[in-house]
Structure 1
Amino acid sequence: MLRAMTDPRTPSAPSQPAAPAQATGVSAGAEGNWFGYRPVDPDAKSGLVRAVFDSVAGRYDLMNDLMSGGIHRLWKDTLMEMVAPRADMTLLDVAGGTGDIAFRFLERGGGRAVVCDITESMVRVGRDRSYDRNLLTGVNWTVGDAERLPIASRSVDAYTIAFGLRNVTRIDAALSEARRVLKPGGKFFCLEFSHVVLPVLREIYDVYSFQVLPRLGRMVAGDEDSYRYLAESIRRFPEQQAMVKRIEAAGFGAVRVRNLTGGIAAIHSGWRI
């Protein structure tokens, strides 16, 4: 679970990007100093990310199709199987602007969904889509930051964030907020592009991400820079076991990781204790 930018960018990375070390997991909080492979002031990062998603809000599903070859739909179905929606369950979906996760939750028998996204244009797209699907009740929309959620403490049964955690300025702050809003015994789920565990697939995926994807972004969406940022942000996201440790450090128990499609994506889950 972006937009054209005028800021100067580094060239496309090689198959083994010469990025700062976060591609395999950096120290906690260091992600806030980087926007893709470009060093930035942490206080400026959320605005840059918001600008990216403003530019792609109307084409967000297309973006995910290009990023994953369409497989993101199957990944989201797998996520929802793990969530196991029930009529008495309240779901908070963070960075869920266009509603993909919330709609799946409601269509599978979930009780109530709250969608929170930092980008107002993404929320507008999601709300419009809910009207198109005739989902007029059971879902609420709010604009908010994953690091400072406008949600009451201990108020939701499940927390999901799909393709959003790598874009926050301070991952540990977002994890702390996830724990705060979950009821005791509530479940945390993060679906995110991750680090490929199969060497041959890794080489192919690097070529696709850094050489093919930005060109597709330019041709299909007129936005090469945003798609290059997406590829860079994936490589800078902590690797799977590093994320397990950070989720545990945030106070979650029974933390697990499930690789999808050879590690192109992964689902991390844990219980709020």
Structure 2
Amino acid sequence: MSDTVSFGYEDVAPEEKTRRVGAVFSNVASRYDLMNDAMSGGLHRLWKDRFVRRVKPQAGETILDMAGGTGDIAFRLAKSGAAVTVADINPEMLAVGVERAAERGIDNLVWTEANAEKLQFPDRFFDGYTIAFGIRNVTDIPAALREAHRVLKRGGRFFCLEFSTTVWPGFAQVYDAYSHHLVPKLGKLLADDEDSYRYLIESIRRFPDMPSFERMIGEAGFIRTRAEPVLGGLVAIHSGWKI
């Protein structure tokens, strides 16, 4: 990893990014749904449904949902009967997820604090690994991808849902104006936190484009990698398999 990494439009030391990203998510944990609604116009709910359909969870499988603290993906996965472990580096996000699970009467999830770059799970442990809107906030993304590969069984699958770069003419400019100018103001209005929302938008702009991130997944050891664009690439579902 290089001496500096991106934190929004800034370049900072790796340990500084880890600290500052942690602060962002501690700040927004209790308003996570508001944050996602502000950033996606509410469409994140449909994207997550589509994402889980691509994962195709099965009863009896073990799935690690990384950076899944508030449970949005895990609740959807668990409907299949899969054994889902929800992992997140941020305890405030996990606390929100545990509370939401209790409200829904969901008691079959495992919740654990974990760093995507250095997981505590043994080799070849899970059938599936999912991460939704979390990979761009990881300090050392290649390390996290290697860890995902390590903890998957042979034949296991990796799925990642993340904002990307739309290639639809005209739409990119409209969304760019919306995200840069309106989302931070919504953050101020809804959560009294303009800076956290500004970082989250800037982090999207610094994230690798679809071909670049697909290449990174392959470099981590996955085969049959794929990037499925949504809304022309505004969001992408990335996948790969371990053999």
Q: Give the TM-score of the pair, scaled to structure 1.
A: 0.87
Residue of structure 1 aligned with 2:95, choices 111, 116, 124: 124
Query: Could you tell me whether the CA contact under 8 Å between 1:191 and 1:266 is conserved in 2?
Result: yes
Q: CA RMSD in A?
A: 1.1
Count of residue pairs the alignment pairs up: 243
1:75 aligns with 2:47: yes
Query: Could you tell me whether the CA contact under 8 Å between 1:213 and 1:228 is conserved in 2?
Result: yes
Query: Could you tell me whether the CA contact under 8 Å between 1:195 and 1:264 is conserved in 2?
Result: yes
1:193 aligns with 2:138: no
The whole-number CA distance in structure 1 between the counterparts of 2:224 and 2:95 is 36
Query: Could you tell me whether the CA contact under 8 Å between 1:192 and 1:266 is conserved in 2?
Result: yes
Question: CA offset at residue 30 of structure 1?
Answer: 5.4
Deviations 1:196-238 (A, max 9, x none): 1113011001101111111111011100001110110000000
* Local SS of the residue matching 1:147: coil
Residue of structure 1 aligned with 2:123, choices 133, 136, 153: 153
Question: CA offset at residue 261 of structure 1?
Answer: 1.6
Aligned amino acid, residue 46 of structure 2: L
Please name the residue that 1:176 is paired with.
Answer: 146
* Local SS of the residue matching 1:141: strand
The whole-number CA distance in structure 1 between the counterparts of 2:241 and 2:146 is 13
The whole-number CA distance in structure 2 between the counterparts of 1:220 and 1:62 is 7
Please name the residue that 1:62 is paired with.
Answer: 34
Deviations 1:102-140 (A, max 9, x none): 100112x13210011010000000011111111112x10
The whole-number CA distance in structure 2 between the counterparts of 1:79 and 1:33 is 28
Aligned amino acid, residue 212 of structure 1: L
1:95 aligns with 2:67: yes
Query: Could you tell me whether the CA contact under 8 Å between 1:147 and 1:174 is conserved in 2?
Result: yes
Aligned amino acid, residue 120 of structure 1: P
Aligned amino acid, residue 169 of structure 2: P
Aligned amino acid, residue 17 of structure 2: K
User: Kindly tell me: are residues 32 and 72 of structure 1, through their superposed partners in 2, closer, same or farther at Cα, counting changes over 3 Å?
Assistant: farther
Deviating above 6 A after TM superposition, structure 1's stretches of 4 or more consecutive aligned residues are none
The whole-number CA distance in structure 1 between the counterparts of 2:3 and 2:143 is 12
Aligned amino acid, residue 123 of structure 1: L
Please name the residue that 2:221 is paired with.
Answer: 251
* Local SS of the residue matching 1:88: coil
Please name the residue that 1:228 is paired with.
Answer: 198
User: Kindly tell me: are residues 122 and 32 of structure 1, through their superposed partners in 2, closer, same or farther at Cα, counting changes over 3 Å?
Assistant: farther
Q: Which runs of 5+ in 2 are unaligned?
A: none
Deviations 1:38-61 (A, max 9, x none): 121112211110100000001111
The whole-number CA distance in structure 1 between the counterparts of 2:170 and 2:81 is 39
User: Kindly tell me: are residues 215 and 71 of structure 1, through their superposed partners in 2, closer, same or farther at Cα, counting changes over 3 Å?
Assistant: same
The whole-number CA distance in structure 1 between the counterparts of 2:81 and 2:161 is 19
Please name the residue that 2:178 is paired with.
Answer: 208
Aligned amino acid, residue 87 of structure 2: C
Question: CA offset at residue 149 of structure 1?
Answer: 1.1
Residue of structure 1 aligned with 2:14, choices 37, 42, 51: 42
